[in-house]
Chain A
């Protein structure tokens, strides 16, 4: 997929009409993620109950790819246990490095559309911001 197609088919929709971009009333976990060189800045919020992500949202500013990627990630992880979210983060990171099979990609659903970011080194950090932040949040939660 070329870059313009990627924006048209998936990124724009999630960036301009995000499902999960708002503040939760009572998150149990909050974590801020920043890409200093881009100015991407998101605040990821989750409700985790008995090891399951029951609700989640994000807020912040940044490029379309960082915002859309966070929105698609929340589509995927809400309702899932933390261990499964960790697996998806690993899968997403391997996809960005170009190390996944077609079959595995299906698990990432819409987020698989960001596959070709692997050819755009300058934008990799944007796509990973939400996922990286979620990963940090899970590590923190496990340390609690």
Chain B
């Protein structure tokens, strides 16, 4: 591996510029090779078998779990539940923990900059349990002041749902402080790490978060594998989310007892190859190191913001400090609808995201219908940034405004 574009087969085509990394990252050959190797070398259903291939598959799957545990500093691998993605992890927490432990009159604190996946499950719990959703309002940079946090998190709070990093504005949150505040009132914190885990070293024990979720596919891993970290004591008292195969201890005609955590939460045949691919992605990131990831990313983001600031009629949202963006640069061009901007850039083979980014409450707060989002990762280059801004500078003209 080189830690650069050269490791990513799809990026070898220099005609294309991929600036949609916040939606999903590229995958290096190390990851796709690991997935292929799983299917070509063991390919048995993990956990069930009593023969060599199945034992190897089980070891590969559980080995990936151990890698994930080390990657985020969990106390033990049994605190790691594999899911399909962050959305499923958050739904698991809401359906299992939320429905069992939130009661009528309780408050669920949700931040206005959340992705819909950390809003809708809590709306469901609030409706069903007659609990109240309380909204944390951010400032224009997507940050939450101490006063705001202290005025919304209180004795009635049962759950605080907040993203480590926003998928629109970046802006890492001080989860350690928010967790301590939540704990002081006996509440739990559910942190969405989907946009953080690819970009920074995370230590769940240091942060003292109760739940932390992320997706494999945004951090070089395959699609279809996600992670839920939860403190073991919580997992043990939570009811299962899905029931069926491989999550039981004993089943009679009327009843069942469930398997130990984390298997209690992994019903049915698991995505073992996906977990192995995620393990390979973690290996890649560990060798590269998050210092290098951040250094590259901040340099590219700073250049991108500096060059975009030179283009008339372009508004970049969020913090002035590129380091706070975690590679995410959300913007609009005066008079141009984001979908038209994305189509014009697509004609130049530049991939960006346009729309509401599954964060409509934040869009409403920002008083925009939709925005464009360019998001970079460590493998993007200065040359790509310069080609992007050249195209961007021509968009208004292409959409009929005088040059």
CB within 8 Å of B: which residues of A?
2-4, 7-8, 11-13, 15-16, 37-39, 61-65, 120, 122-123, 126
CB within 8 Å of A: which residues of B?
336-340, 343-344, 346-347, 355-356, 369-370, 398-401
- List residues of chain B with CB within 8 A of the CB of A39: 355-356, 369-370
| Chain A interface SS verdict (over half) | helix
- List residues of chain A with CB within 8 A of the CB of B369: 39, 61
A65-B347 Cα distance, complex, nearest whole Å: 15
B399 engages A37 (CB within 8 Å): no
Nearest Cβ distance between residue B144 and chain A, in whole angstroms? Answer: 26
Contact of A2 among B336, B340, B347 (CB under 8 A): B347
A3 engages B355 (CB within 8 Å): no
Nearest Cβ distance between residue B14 and chain A, in whole angstroms? Answer: 21
- List residues of chain B with CB within 8 A of the CB of A16: 400-401
- List residues of chain B with CB within 8 A of the CB of A123: 339, 343
B370 engages A38 (CB within 8 Å): yes
- List residues of chain A with CB within 8 A of the CB of B355: 37-39
Contact of B400 among A3, A8, A65, A122 (CB under 8 A): A8
Contact of B340 among A13, A37, A61, A64 (CB under 8 A): A64
Contact of B346 among A3, A12, A64, A65 (CB under 8 A): A3
Evaluate whether A64 and B398 lie within 8 angstroms (CB atoms) in the complex, with A3-B346, A38-B370 already known. Answer: no
Nearest Cβ distance between residue B257 and chain A, in whole angstroms? Answer: 44
B344 engages A3 (CB within 8 Å): yes
- List residues of chain B with CB within 8 A of the CB of A11: 400
Nearest Cβ distance between residue A16 and chain B, in whole angstroms? Answer: 5
Residue of B nearest to A15 (CB): B400
A4-B400 Cα distance, complex, nearest whole Å: 10
A3 engages B343 (CB within 8 Å): yes
B370 engages A13 (CB within 8 Å): no
Contact of A12 among B339, B343, B399 (CB under 8 A): B399
Residue of B nearest to A67 (CB): B337
A12-B399 Cα distance, complex, nearest whole Å: 6
Nearest Cβ distance between residue A68 and chain B, in whole angstroms? Answer: 10
Evaluate whether A126 and B398 lie within 8 angstroms (CB atoms) in the complex, with A2-B347, A3-B347 already known. Answer: no
Nearest Cβ distance between residue B335 and chain A, in whole angstroms? Answer: 8
- List residues of chain B with CB within 8 A of the CB of A4: 344, 347, 398
Nearest Cβ distance between residue B16 and chain A, in whole angstroms? Answer: 16
Contact of B398 among A7, A37, A63, A120 (CB under 8 A): A7
Contact of B344 among A7, A38, A122 (CB under 8 A): A7
A12-B339 Cα distance, complex, nearest whole Å: 14
A3-B343 Cα distance, complex, nearest whole Å: 8
A13-B340 Cα distance, complex, nearest whole Å: 14
A3-B346 Cα distance, complex, nearest whole Å: 9
A63 engages B344 (CB within 8 Å): no
A2-B344 Cα distance, complex, nearest whole Å: 10
Residue of A nearest to B344 (CB): A4
Nearest Cβ distance between residue B399 and chain A, in whole angstroms? Answer: 6
Nearest Cβ distance between residue A128 and chain B, in whole angstroms? Answer: 14
Nearest Cβ distance between residue B15 and chain A, in whole angstroms? Answer: 15
- List residues of chain B with CB within 8 A of the CB of A63: 337-340
- List residues of chain A with CB within 8 A of the CB of B370: 38-39
- List residues of chain A with CB within 8 A of the CB of B347: 2-4
Residue of A nearest to B339 (CB): A63
- List residues of chain B with CB within 8 A of the CB of A2: 347
Write 10 A-B pairs (CB below 8 A) sorted by A numbering: A3-B346, A4-B347, A15-B400, A37-B356, A38-B370, A61-B369, A62-B337, A63-B340, A64-B400, A122-B343
Interface centre among B337, B344, B347, B369 (most CB of A within 10 A): B337
Nearest Cβ distance between residue B220 and chain A, in whole angstroms? Answer: 26
Evaluate whether A13 and B343 lie within 8 angstroms (CB atoms) in the complex, with A39-B356, A62-B337 already known. Answer: no
Contact of A120 among B338, B343, B399, B400 (CB under 8 A): B343
A25-B100 Cα distance, complex, nearest whole Å: 56
- List residues of chain A with CB within 8 A of the CB of B346: 3
Nearest Cβ distance between residue B361 and chain A, in whole angstroms? Answer: 14
A79-B401 Cα distance, complex, nearest whole Å: 32
- List residues of chain A with CB within 8 A of the CB of B337: 62-64
- List residues of chain B with CB within 8 A of the CB of A62: 337
Evaluate whether A38 and B339 lie within 8 angstroms (CB atoms) in the complex, with A3-B347, A4-B347 already known. Answer: yes
A126 engages B339 (CB within 8 Å): yes
Nearest Cβ distance between residue B365 and chain A, in whole angstroms? Answer: 15
Nearest Cβ distance between residue B182 and chain A, in whole angstroms? Answer: 33
A122-B255 Cα distance, complex, nearest whole Å: 48
- List residues of chain A with CB within 8 A of the CB of B400: 7-8, 11-13, 15-16, 64
A126-B343 Cα distance, complex, nearest whole Å: 12
A75-B336 Cα distance, complex, nearest whole Å: 24
